[in-house]
Amino acid sequence: MIQDFCAPATSIWRGGVWTRDAARLGGAPKWAEAAPRIDIIIPVLDEEKSIGRVIGDIPKELIRQIIVVDNGSRDSTAEVARTAGAVVISEPQRGYGAACLSGLGHISEDPPEIVVFLDGDYSDHPEELPRVIAPILEGGVDLVIGSRILGESEPGALLPQAIFGNWLACSLMSLLFGYQFSDLGPFRAIRWESLEACEMRDEDFGWTVEMQIRAAKLGLSACEVPVSYRKRIGVSKVSGTVMGSVRAGHKILDTIFRQYFAAP
């Protein structure tokens, strides 16, 4: 099971889902004044129409730096990201995981306390960052997944193949590893030390599920928070095409079973 813990009085722990009643908090949470070092990594590929809006909606007062990893864009994604205030690095090797690993390599010499991963297509709501990091800062959780399944999704934002793929992957993780997730959502936060312990290696679509499985095998504490989701700007490189969906599904299932038979 996802590990339980003693949640503070301002929080509610229910079945692996962390929710907060902002009205009862009476303003900004206490941790907002502590200024923890938080870096955001955003992998991008041809997202010139959306990346500026993503960066613009991130609560800048909560983060140290925004790292946009250009995964071989053929448009002006990198230029738009720099203009919006992000640090842009290039990772020519295609793959979601490859871009994330490149971003981690960039911040490793002066690592943050928390790393947040966010997509660059504007399907997530970056302004919900406080909700995603709260369980780490208030409750000592290691890994937080922003669940699109538990949150409010715009009609048509989550395609049927994505919903089915999430359900299948999460069901297998529950059966094989005992951790109950509802989503493989890209909007997530993790402690730096916990991320290092996960020894992430996947360079493709298996990145998100690998992180969740590694956390389960290591016995890290994890929870989900409901996040909002909308139709992305542009066409998805994964679920937006039949071939992309098939490749992603195969990779995710392959990652689950390889991790199950691998050494702890």
pLDDT digits (tens, 9 = 90+) for 144-197: 999 999 999 999 999 888 899 899 999 999 999 999 999 999 999 999 999 999
Q: For 5-29, what is the mean pLDDT?
A: 39
Whether residue 220 is predicted with pLDDT greater than 60 in this model: the reply is: yes
Q: Quick one: pLDDT at residue 35?
A: 72
The answer to whether residues 150 and 182 touch, using CB atoms and an 8 Å cutoff, is yes
Q: Quick one: pLDDT at residue 25?
A: 37
Whether residue 16 is predicted with pLDDT greater than 70 in this model: the reply is: no
Instruction: Report all structural domains of the chain as residue ranges with CATH numbers, in order of start.
Output: 11-261 (3.90.550.10)
Whether residue 15 is predicted with pLDDT greater than 50 in this model: the reply is: no
- Percent of the chain whose pLDDT exceeds 70: 83
Q: How far apart are CA 13 and CA 211, in angstroms?
A: 22
- Percent of the chain whose pLDDT exceeds 90: 74
Confidence of residue 1 (pLDDT cuts 50, 70, 90): very low
pLDDT 10s digits, 198-209: 999 999 989 999
Report which DSSP code applies to 2. P
Choose between 10 and 67: higher pLDDT.
67
Measuring CA to CA, how many Å separate 119 from each of 42, 89, 187? 6, 15, 7
Q: For 72-97, what is the mean pLDDT?
A: 97
Taking alpha carbons only, the member of 32, 38, 30 closest to residue 8 is 30
Q: Quick one: pLDDT at residue 155?
A: 93
The answer to whether residues 157 and 232 touch, using CB atoms and an 8 Å cutoff, is yes
Q: For 132-152, what is the mean pLDDT?
A: 96
Taking alpha carbons only, the member of 3, 243, 237 closest to residue 141 is 3
Taking alpha carbons only, the member of 130, 132, 112, 137 closest to residue 187 is 132
The answer to whether residues 139 and 213 touch, using CB atoms and an 8 Å cutoff, is no
Q: How far apart are CA 257 and CA 264, in angstroms?
A: 13
Q: Quick one: pLDDT at residue 248?
A: 77
Q: At what angle do helices 207-218 and 242-261 cross, to 10 degrees?
A: 20
Amino acid at 114: I
Whether residue 130 is predicted with pLDDT greater than 60 in this model: the reply is: yes
Q: For 77-92, what is the mean pLDDT?
A: 98
Report the relative pairing of strands 188-191 and 114-117 from DSSP bridges.
Answer: antiparallel
Instruction: Look over the chain and give the mean of its residue pLDDT values, rounded to a whole number.
Output: 87
pLDDT 10s digits, 98-116: 999 999 999 999 999 999 9
Positive or negative torsion for Cα 96, 98, 103, 104:
positive
Q: For 28-47, what is the mean pLDDT?
A: 82
Confidence of residue 249 (pLDDT cuts 50, 70, 90): confident
